[in-house]
Structure 1
Amino acid sequence: MVNCGACGKFLSPTGAAACSVCPTKYHRACLVIAEKTQISKDWVCPNCKRHVRRGDNSQTPVKGIGEDGDCGPPLPVTSPPAQARVAGAGPALAASESAGELGLLREAFAAFTVRLDGVERRLEALERGQPEGDPARVTELEQSVLALKRELNERDQDALLSDLEIGQLPEQKGESVLHSVLVLAGQLGVPLEERDVVFAERVGVRPAGAAGRPRRVVVRLASRRLRDDMLAAARVRRAGLAAAAGVRVFINERLTRHNRHLFHRVRGECRRLQWRYTWTKRGRIFARRGDGKPVYQFRVEDDLVRAFGPETVDRRAAV
C-alpha cells in the first residue's frame, strides 16, 4: 500500500505525483496541482528541493565593479550620531535573534505535530482493523503517542523560558498593562525599561464587575536574566509588594496549559499529605516532603502515583 508523503493517507499510484529523486509519491491536491496538469518526469518533490546543493556562483561578477578594478564611489563615512544609533540598536538585534529562535521552535513544533498525527492515525487504523489482534503493537503505539506528547510539551515550555505570569495585579478599565508591569518591577527593585518588555497583556475572561478577580498578566521579557531577577526579587520582597499594592500579588514562571494543570494537582496532593515544598524551576515541577527527603519531578500524571501512591488515582476517580 502506498501512502502520500504529505498527508500520510492512502494514495492510488494512478495520477500521483512521483518524485524523480526519491521514491515518495504525493496527492495532487496536497501539492495544489490541478488534475489536468502534466507532471514532468524530472519533477522533484519539495522535501528533495530543500536538500539540493546550490551551484557554484563564485565566478558571477559583482555589480558595480568594472573590469579595470574600479569599485565605484567610496562608501559614506558613518557620522557619530549614526554610530550612536547603531550602538543603541542592541536590544532590537536581541529581539530579532529571539524572534529567529521562536521561528525555529515553531518549525520544530510543526514537525512534532505531524509525527504525532501520523502515529495517532496508525493507532486508530490498527484498532479498527485488529481490535483483538496485536495488543502488544497497540501498547507500543500508545507509548509512542505519550512520548511525543511529552516531548512536544517540553519544547512548548522551553519557548516560555523568558515569560512571567502575574496574578492578582489590580485591573482598571483603560489601563496600560505595560506601565503597570514597569511600576511593579520598580517596587521589586528591578529597573525595567519599555525596551526590556517584548509584550505584556492580560489573558482570560474579563471580570463581570469591579469586585471581580483581576485577570492574570503574561509578560515576555527580552532576556531570561531579567525574568530570573524578577522572580528572585518577588521571593525576597513578597511582603513589601503586598503592602504596596494593597493585595498579595503573585509572580511565577509561565507554564504551559498541561504543566499548569499538573502543578495544580501536585499542590493539592502536597496540601493533603502535608508536604512542605512545591516549586517550579525552568518550567519543571518539583515537590519534596521535607528537609532531607528525596525530590520528585513531575512530567506526566503517572508521576503523581509514583510520588503520592495509587490512592491519588483512586480518589480522583471517586470524585
Structure 2
Amino acid sequence: MPACSQCSQVLKRTQKTVTCRTCEKVFHPACASLNAADLQLLEDTSRAWNCATCIAKCRSTRGDDTPIKALDPGSLYDKSQREVSNPILKELLDRVKVIQENQSELVNSLKNDISELKKVISTWESLINEHSKTISLIIESLSNISGKFDGMVAENEILLKRVANLEAQLNTWEQDSLRNVVEIHGIPFKSDEVLETLVCQVGLGLGVKLDASDVDYAYRLKARSNLPNNRPPSIRVRFMRSNLAREILEARKAKRSFSTRDIGFSDSPNYPIYVNESLSALNRKVYAKARELKKNGKLKYLWIRGGKIFARECDGSERILLRTEGDLHALQ
C-alpha cells in the first residue's frame, strides 16, 4: 500500500487522499494543509492540485522573484469573497441553507413543545401531590373508622351477651310465674262446658281431690290449624297453690293411660288426656325446635321438668339444659 509522501505513514483505503498532478505523489489532506472544504472545492470544480515542492519548482523555472511558498489552501476556497460559479454547488448550498432554516424552525418548535410538556408535567405533578394528600387523608379516615368499627363490634358483642342474659333472666321470671299453671290436652269442646268443673273431674280421675275454689282461672287456648285429627284446643289452668299443679302433673305421669272415659265422657269418642307444664313463650319456641332435632335424630331424649327443658343426645350422654335458641346451635 502507498505511503504519504509527507509523513511516510501508510495510506489506508478508507482514508481520503490528495494526489499531486505534477509528481503524482500521494498525501494525507492534513499533511498537504488541506481541510475538508478545500477537498470538496477541488472535487466540485474538478481542479488539479500541486504539492508545495512542485509549485516551488514551477516558480524557480519561471524566475519568479516571489519567495517560494506552498499553496495556501485557503486561497482555493474563500467563503467570504468568492462567488460560486458552479450551478450545482450553488444549488447544494441553497439546499443546505433551507435545511438549516428548517432545522432551526424544528429546534424552536421542539423547544416550545418541550416547554409546554414541562408545564403539563408540572401541572400533573401538582395534581398527583394533591391526590396523594387526599388519599392519605382518606386512608387515615378509613383507619379511624375501622378502629371505631372494631370497637363497635366488640361493644355489640358485649351488648348481645347482655341481651341474651337479660332474655334468659326474663324467661326465668316468666317461667317462675307459671309454676301454678298446667295445660290439659285432649278434652273435647262442649258449648255448655264449665272449665273449672272439668278441671275438678280431671283431678278426680287422677286421684287428686280438687275443688272449684282451688282454680284461680281456666280458659281454652286458641285453636291451632296444625293439630292432627282436629284435636280440640288445650285448657290452661292456674291453681291457687303450686303444690296442686305438681300433684296433678305427678299423678298424670304415674298413670299410664288416662282418657276422656275416665272423666265421664262416655257419649263421645275416647281421647287420651295429657297434662303438661305450661311454658313461657321463649321456652315454647325452644321446645318446638328441640322436638324437630329429636325428630331428625339429633336428640334421643327430650323432657320438661320444673319449667326447664332437658335433652340427651344418646344413651349415657350428659344431660343438656336448653335455655335459649343459642343452646340448640351446638346440637345442629
Task: Give the TM-score, by structure 1 length.
Answer: 0.51
Instruction: Map Cα deviations across residues 40-85 of structure 1 (whole Å, 9 max, x no partner).
Output: xxxxxxxxxxxxxxxxxxxxxxxxxxxxxxxxxxxxxxxxxxxxxx
SS of 1:240's partner is coil
| Residue 191, structure 1, aligned to residue 215, structure 2 | no
User: Are 2:259 and 2:273, in contact at CA under 8 Å, matched by a contact in 1?
Assistant: yes
Say whether the 8 Å CA contact 1:189–1:233 is kept in structure 2. yes
CA RMSD, 1 decimal: 2.2
The answer to whether the 8 A contact 1:188-1:241 is kept is no
2:320 maps to which residue? 296
Equivalence for 1:272 = 296
Decide which moves more: 175-184 or 243-252. 243-252
Letter of the 2:210 counterpart: L
Pick aligned residue for 2:309 from 277, 285, 288: 285
Shift of 1:229: 1.0
Distance 1:248 1:240, change over 3 A: closer
Output the amino acid matched with 2:193. Answer: E
Match for residue 283 of structure 2? Answer: 259
Match of 2:179 in 1: 161
For 1:249, give the aligned amino acid. I
- Which structure 1 residue ranges, 4+ long, deviate > 4 Å from structure 2? 130-133
Q: Counterpart amino acid of 2:245?
A: R
Distance in structure 2 (CA, Å) of the matches to 1:290 and 1:242: 35
Q: Deviations over 1:199-255 (max 9, x none)?
A: 111121488xxx843121111112221111111111122413365351111210000
Q: For 1:273, what is the secondary structure of its paired residue?
A: coil
List gaps (5 residues or longer) in structure 2: 1-147
Aligned pairs for 1:225-264 within 5 A: 225-241=243-259, 244=262, 246-264=270-288
Compute the displacement of 1:133 (Å): 5.5
Structure 1: any 5+ residue segments left out of the alignment?
1-129, 313-319
Report if aligned partners of 1:157, 1:256 keep a CA contact under 8 Å in 2.
yes
Residue identity over aligned pairs, in percent, reads 29
Contact 2:218/2:238 (8 A) holds in 1: yes
- Give the distance between the partners of 1:143 and 1:280, measured in 2 at CA: 25
Assess if the C-alpha contact under 8 Å between 2:258 and 2:272 holds in 1: no
Partner of 1:146: 164
The code of the aligned residue for 2:204 comes to G
**Does structure 2 conserve the Cα–Cα contact (< 8 Å) formed by 1:205 and 1:215?**
yes
Q: Which residue number corresponds to residue 42 of structure 1?
A: none
Contact 1:187 1:241 in 2 (8 A): no
State the shift of 1:289 in Å: 3.3
How many Å apart are 1:132 and its aligned residue?
6.5
Any conservation in 2 of the 1:285–1:299 contact (CA below 8 Å)? yes
Tell me what 2:198 maps to.
Answer: 180
Change in Cα spacing, 1:146 to 1:167, as seen in structure 2 (3 Å) is same
Alpha-carbon distance change, 302 to 140 in structure 1, aligned in 2, over 3 angstroms = same
Shift of 1:175: 1.1
Q: Work out the CA distance in 2 between the residues paired with 1:135 and 1:237.
A: 54
The answer as to whether partners of 1:182 and 1:193 remain within 8 angstroms in 2 is yes
Distance 1:206 1:268 in 2: 18
Instruction: State the partner residue of 1:218.
Output: 236
Q: Cα 1:247–1:159, aligned 2, differ >3 Å: closer, same or farther?
A: same
Please say which structure displays the higher CA radius of gyration.
2
* Counterpart-to-counterpart distance in 2, 1:171 and 1:255: 23
- Residue in 2 aligned with 1:305? 329
Whether the aligned pair in 1 keeps the contact of 2:310 and 2:321 (CA below 8 Å) is yes
Aligned partners of 2:299, 2:170: CA distance in 1, in Å?
30
Q: Could you state the TM-score of these two structures normalised by the residue count of structure 2?
A: 0.49
CA distance 1:234–1:174, shift in 2 (3 Å): same
Mapped to 2, the partners of 1:291 and 1:243 lie a distance apart of 36
Shift of 1:275: 3.8
CA contact (8 A) 2:187 2:260 kept: no
Q: Matches of 1:281 and 1:259 in 2, distance apart?
A: 12
Q: Distance in 1 between matches of 2:289 and 2:250?
A: 25
